[in-house]
Amino acid sequence: MHQQTLPPLTPIISNWIKELIKKPELLETAIEEYGSPINIHNTLPFRENYKLYQEVFDEYGLDNLIFFARKANKCRNLVLEAKTLGMGIDTASYRELKEALESDLDCEKLVVTAAIKERKLIELAIQNGVLIILDNEDECKLTQQIAEEFNIKAQIGLRISGFNYRGSKLYSRFGFDIDGVFDFIAENFGKQKAFNSLKYQGLHFHLNGYSTEQRGAACLQSFELAKQLKTNGFETHFLDIGGGFLMNYLSDKDEWESFKETLQLAVKQKVAPITFQNDGLGYQIINNELHGELKTYPYFNEKPKQFFLREILNYKNGDSKTVADLAKQLKIQIRMEPGRSMLDQVGFTMAKVVFRKRDSQNNWLVGLEMNFTQMHSSSADFLLDPIVLNKEPQKNKEKCEVFFTGAYCLERDILLKRKISLDQLPQIGDLVIFPNTAGYMIHFFESEAHLFNLAANIWSQVEGYTLSKFINDDELSYPTVAV
Ligand SMILES: Cc1ncc(COP(=O)(O)O)c(C=O)c1O
């Protein structure tokens, strides 16, 4: 079998992280104080990401409202930061809504999009005049019932799905089908109708995947629905296009292409494995042929964030009118709920090396004080090279290839499935940094199995890019607003 060098995947790294890496003693102190692993965050990129989106809307002269989808990261400081920036928060649970209200966020800047809306969540939203995005008829019934009990009109939007795209419907388990929702509204909403305590305000969708064309098509179909509704007396004030705005993690397209090629060759056993137990990350061999596709996030892509938004706004209908033109013409505010992309460069995860050993297949395994729930991608792997801070750089450096392993009793607790090439074997106590983990990678799947503590979340204070000290997110308090 042909032996190849491992294809690198070099992450994009923001200046505040580069600065911090130059101060290993500070990182050592942080890990001593808070334990391993630790998530270190910074608000500066969050502000910059918000600005990037805001600039696009300004350039198009579009009425807009951007909500941060908090489910992507639980830190309290992000709620406070969103408030400072004047942005909204998309809340997906009772506690997310309660904390946003406690932090005194304006109710106009809040939205409830929870997939499951229990009674107390709906009660809290109605009592505080917060918009609820309803997903199905049962939710409408419960919301109507609670609104009647409180004698308050519930502010609601409807989530739509099943958009027609290139001859077929886009499936989603969420939302009302676009083809039936007009009749549903016309029959049930308005005076003397079943849902007369629900005040219809607008439309919402959130699409799976990363197609700007599908989102553009969904906008156009939503506008058509809004026009139809208007003729029946229902004014659509906003169209919320959800989240899913791409972010780019990697610095080099060639590396990305070369990684994909080498992975396929490895699965075909033409070159040595580059993943743990030759995991194909979606590729597999069936009857001697390669099948499947890479089932990871598109970590390298060329149209992240503001470019992604622009493509949606530039999408045209048959009369060459763009989504942006139509939004203005119909006086519909465009809303969005980015989670991951708002967190681009906002945080990294750092863990301590505990052991090194050779397994029976002669692989180097480097054990970290951390487990796979503390950095876990919902896709097949997190494809960014980590950075190892060697306490004592060796004089005669010898390159080595390692897998990083975690603390759970599961064979599968391999922190990155990719084999990683390093300049030298890490020493016990060395620190390993996993860049750009703030969006979904650290909180979405974390667990306290084995009674391990959850990782601490700390914030580096930055004036310009000069670092002073860390703040523990748990110790941040919201302004005391009674809810
Ligand atoms: C309704 C809704 N809005 C916003 C988001 C945020 O998406 P992203 O973090 O990909 O931007 C999600 C993610 O699942 C969602 O379900």
pLDDT digits (tens, 9 = 90+) for 390-402: 998 888 788 999 9
Token output for 5? 């060098």
Give every residue of the chain whose pLDDT is below 50, as ranges.
464-465
- Tell me how far the alpha carbon of residue 456 lies from the centroid of ligand 1, in angstroms: 24
- Tell me how far the alpha carbon of residue 267 lies from the centroid of ligand 1, in angstroms: 33
> Smallest Cα–Cα separation from 355: which of 339, 363, 367, 343?
367
pLDDT on residue 208: 96
pLDDT on residue 52: 98
pLDDT on residue 199: 98
Superfamily of domain 15-42+346-473: Lyase, Ornithine Decarboxylase; Chain A, domain 1 (2.40.37.10)
Token output for 461? 């204070």
From the number of C-beta atoms within 10 Å of its C-beta (0-12, 13-18, 19+), residue 48 rates as middle
How far apart, in whole angstroms, are the C-alpha atoms of residue 22 and residue 374? 25
Segments of the chain assigned to CATH 2.40.37.10: 15-42+346-473
pLDDT on residue 465: 44
- Tell me how far the alpha carbon of residue 193 lies from the centroid of ligand 1, in angstroms: 32
Segments of the chain assigned to CATH 3.20.20.10: 44-246+302-342
The residue whose CA is least distant from atom 9 of ligand 1 is 339
> Smallest Cα–Cα separation from 8: which of 387, 278, 343?
387
* Ligand 1 atom at minimal distance to the Cα of residue 67: 4
The residue whose CA is least distant from atom 16 of ligand 1 is 206
pLDDT on residue 397: 81
* Ligand 1 atom at minimal distance to the Cα of residue 340: 9
The preferred substitution site among 49, 71, 208, 238 for testing ligand 1, maximizing ligand atoms within 8 Å of CB, is: 71
Pocket of ligand 1 from Cβ distances under 6 Å: 69, 72, 90, 113, 206, 242-245, 337-341
How far apart, in whole angstroms, are the C-alpha atoms of residue 336 and residue 95? 21
Helices 323-330 and 305-314 pack at an angle, to 10 degrees, of 70
Answer whether CATH 3.20.20.10 is correct for domain 44-246+302-342.
yes
Neighbours of 398 (CB within 10 A): 9
pLDDT on residue 396: 79
- Tell me how far the alpha carbon of residue 145 lies from the centroid of ligand 1, in angstroms: 28
Over residues 131-175, the pLDDT tens digits come to 999 999 999 999 999 999 999 999 999 999 999 999 999 999 999
pLDDT on residue 395: 80
The pTM score is 0.96
- Tell me how far the alpha carbon of residue 70 lies from the centroid of ligand 1, in angstroms: 9
How far apart, in whole angstroms, are the C-alpha atoms of residue 55 and residue 50? 9
- Tell me how far the alpha carbon of residue 351 lies from the centroid of ligand 1, in angstroms: 28
- Tell me how far the alpha carbon of residue 313 lies from the centroid of ligand 1, in angstroms: 18
pLDDT on residue 293: 97
The preferred substitution site among 206, 208, 212 for testing ligand 1, maximizing ligand atoms within 8 Å of CB, is: 206
